[in-house]
Chains A and B, each alone.
Chain A
């Protein structure tokens, strides 16, 4: 069984911890929010503002805005573009992502 990291012979620095809704998740340096969540087996981190349906990555390149997520209390970040830093606090985003 191969993995993408093996395939590219990647030797990243040590993993660090971030949280998703309070749960600890390991992330590798250089990975985007979406990548770390995928690697942790998570495929959705937003619910839509109309029907409350789950969404995650769709286009993967910043065009579709389906992967919007709240990171460190800032809503509507594109998970597929945003690199993670140690200690980042990711929250599943509901609706518009703004409180009220």
Chain B
């Protein structure tokens, strides 16, 4: 085995969250090493749509994290230029019935009180925002803060900007701990990496890393499919989704749920997302899931019926029982920090997560109260 590498902090996971942790830790003056068993953005990051959403979050700790992340994303977007394909396109949430609209507007009122930009749009205003929407919709809410990045590019460019050393193709096989129980680094299949701090940014596989450190962290996979169309001119301008999406995100059901999230991209294809199923790490292509996505998308945008889907891909969101990520130091293992379990919101929440983790790593008082995100908040018997 080769001579161990040393650094201030090892970040496990070269996805979006790991990249953001690396960036903010490096900017806080730490020597950072990022390790991943696969490539850059090889897990859930490379299988997502790149959502940076505030619209789907109710007031509470996740929304606070989303708003912090949104501010940091706008700063980073200015810095990175077009390289991450950041687009502040805004979101439009559409109600399908007058009753649904009332509920949606109530939800938006509460969000507005928490600092979210949320403007009710009805009739002509809705169709001015999205001219190709199905006729006869009662209205919706426009969220100007919602945005998007190309997630793999964003992760790669953040990693590059961080200046962190990157070890891809290195599988972490153990978390090294001293006699006092504190973290001393990690063991990989290609050598040891020594550091007084380790950040678990392993996403859906974060529970396995926690287990290597001897602690319980219930991260479960929640499978999602995304449909991709042929390239089109920009006909869909915002991130458009039906109001049921929020309910699906918040649901604990294991059964298939699909509420379409439809959006155009800078590259041309329209992305249709958001099936959710708890089926373990099953990579089998599911025709019913994809059919449901297509049905939902063509209901919102009838013109899509004649547009061709060229591919579909799947990913595994890191789902936690209370739908909140694990962010910050683990009181059970000194030196171990977590930054995982963001379910379908990891791209959006990555910057705030990285910022908070960097503050914790350097002993600063975090900008947000980390208590709701404590990694030890789940009882052991839940396993």
Contacts and interface: CB of A to CB of B under 8 A. Distances in A.
B235 A96 contact: no
Contacts of A96: 230-233, 268
Interface in B94-145: none
B71 interface: no
Interface in A56-100: 76, 95-96, 98-100
Which size bracket describes the interface of A in this complex? under 10
A49 interface: yes
B231 A49 contact: yes
Interface string B218-239: 0000000000001111110000
Contacts, number: 18
Interface residues of B, number: 8
A98 to B, nearest CB: 5
Contacts of B232: 96, 98, 100
A99 B235 CA distance: 10
A76 B309 CA distance: 13
Contacts of A95: 233
A33 to B, nearest CB: 18
Nearest to B233: A100
Contacts of A99: 233
A8 to B, nearest CB: 35
Interface of A: 49, 76, 95-96, 98-100
Interface of B: 230-235, 268, 308
Given A76-B308, A100-B232, 16 more contacts: A49-B231, A49-B268, A76-B230, A95-B233, A96-B230, A96-B231, A96-B232, A96-B233, A96-B268, A98-B232, A98-B233, A98-B235, A99-B233, A100-B233, A100-B234, A100-B235
